[in-house]
Structure 1
Amino acid sequence: MDQANQNTTRVLVVDVGGSNIKIYAPGVDERKMKSGPDFSAQHAVEAVQELASGIEFDVVSIGYPGPVRDNRPLGEPANLGGGWDRFDFTAALGKPAKIVNDALMQAIGSYEGGRLLFLGLGTGLGSAMIIANVAQPLELAHLPYKKDGTFEDHVGKRGFKANGPKKWKKDVFDVVARLKAALQPDYIVIGGGQVDKLDELPEGCRRGDNRLAFQGGLRLWQNEQLVL
């Protein structure tokens, strides 16, 4: 996309989560609607159309809570309804759409060069890395952790509810330390709705902001150096 198109292309950003679907466009306040375990891909299309009423846009960026390949969801998400696998959002919305993993979209919005590891503490555990402008979604949430579950089981919302804030915080710090040692990032951004439950962060980490997901959605169309 050339510089002239960057300045004129109007981007609508959609952030699909296990609890809410949110949209954003420059100059428009965030709008959202409930999602949940019965929320299908078609429901998402209908929600975007309703939420975007009155907003003029040319292209769409979508953050999706699961793996993405060839610009379409790969498989069904763990915390939403069905119909997502290989769903064609460009056709359904009638606008060019780029879809990436939701953690990757927030990582792109948080990126300041070098080697970034992004971890999203929310309903589950989102993860992504960006190294020298090459953006790579990760699927670390379901790796085994301890004797009774996965990273997601312990540091996601379920772990917070099951184990309490003190034990949950200890597990978050332990998981971050393991991933830092394995992946060797220059810095770590911890985002997601659950990050507000942490009164302090592990060393070498900074606090993310869900609004940076919207910045990432804009950069998907505006940053020519970004490699997906």
Structure 2
Amino acid sequence: MKVLVIDIGGSNIKILATGQPERIKIPSGGDFTPEQLVPLVIENAKDWEYEAISIGFPGVVKGGKIVADPVNMGAGWKGFDFEKAFGRPVKIINDAAMQALGSYEGGKLLFMGFGTGLGTAMVFEDLILPMEGGHLPFKQGTFETHVGNAAMEKFGKPKWKNWVSQAIAHFNHCFQPDQIVLGGGNSKLLDTFPSNCRLGSNKNAITGGFRLWEKPYKY
């Protein structure tokens, strides 16, 4: 099956279809809506063949449906009919979960994505478990308020790195994964991390989108 993967982000949309050599980036932004997304994707992918679509969405997805509009983009995502708009079968999954699936190599994997906030997900065999771990309480706030971009800008990189290390240790102790994949743009700033951690790549989100159609994952 030829699949078009759409990885939605607050700054850019990344798309790639089966057999194509390079991702295409499309600017998004704080007011970006699905009505803007669809024609831009169709235009940029007009020379590609695809039978189905995977969408990685930066927000809560349940049962393959977007349940709330994202805080860093425009409105209208909840309830939007992507299958009707694209005229193709569509699978929607949380973006951290899609990247976790693309990073998966077996066992029990925990994904932690450090960027604007904290994206978290787990994969174990055929089960993909999106989580909102960044909203769990930590110190006088949440993990997200201590390891997101805003915290790094306000308190500086040394303190941010310390909080990230604490976050990784807490999640490692709680979920007991075989491996932790550290993703998101800010993970590249880390100097050290536990032996069962490895750096991921944002390109793994695209891989996860392709894998989503390979077998009946539960998510």
Q: Which amino acid aligns with 1:130?
A: V
Asked whether the equivalents of residues 113 and 133 of structure 1 are also in contact (C-alpha less than 8 Å), the reply is: no
Q: Which residue of 1 aligns with 2:99?
A: 106
User: 1:150-169 alignment to 2 at 5 Å?
Assistant: 150-169=142-161
Aligned length: 218
Per-residue deviation, 1:88: 1.7
Mapped partners of 1:24, 1:200: distance in 2: 32
Retained in 2: the 8 A contact 1:72–1:88?
no
Provide Cα deviations, 1:73-96, integer angstroms capped at 9, x if missing partner.
Answer: 111112111101122211111111
Deviation per CA, 1:92-143: give whole Å up to 9, x if none: 1111110000000000011111111001111111110112321110011222
- The two structures have a TM-score, normalised by structure 2, of 0.95
Q: Aligned ranges for residues 189-228 of structure 1 at < 5 Å?
A: 189-224=181-216, 226-228=217-219
Question: Partner of 1:182 in structure 2?
Answer: 174
- 2: distance between equivalents of 1:57 and 1:96? 10
Offset, 1:30:
0.7
CA deviation digits over 1:11-69, x for unaligned, max 9?
01110011111101232311011112101121222221222121111110100001112
CA contact 1:115–1:131 (8 Å) conserved in 2: yes
* TM-score relative to the length of structure 1: 0.91
- Name 2:128's counterpart in structure 1: 135
For residues 143-180 of structure 1, the C-alpha deviation after alignment (integer angstroms, 9 at most, x for no partner) is: 22211x22112111112211111111111000111111
* Structure 1, unaligned runs of 5 or more: 1-8
Unaligned runs of 5+ in 2: none
CA distance in 1 between partners of 2:38 and 2:157 (Å): 36
Q: What is residue 6 of structure 1 aligned with on the other side?
A: none
Secondary structure, counterpart of 1:106 in structure 2? helix
* Corresponding letter in the other structure for 1:85: K
Q: Tell me the equivalent position of 1:76.
A: 69
Give structure 1 regions of 4+ aligned residues with deviation exceeding 4 angstroms: none
Q: CA RMSD in A?
A: 1.3
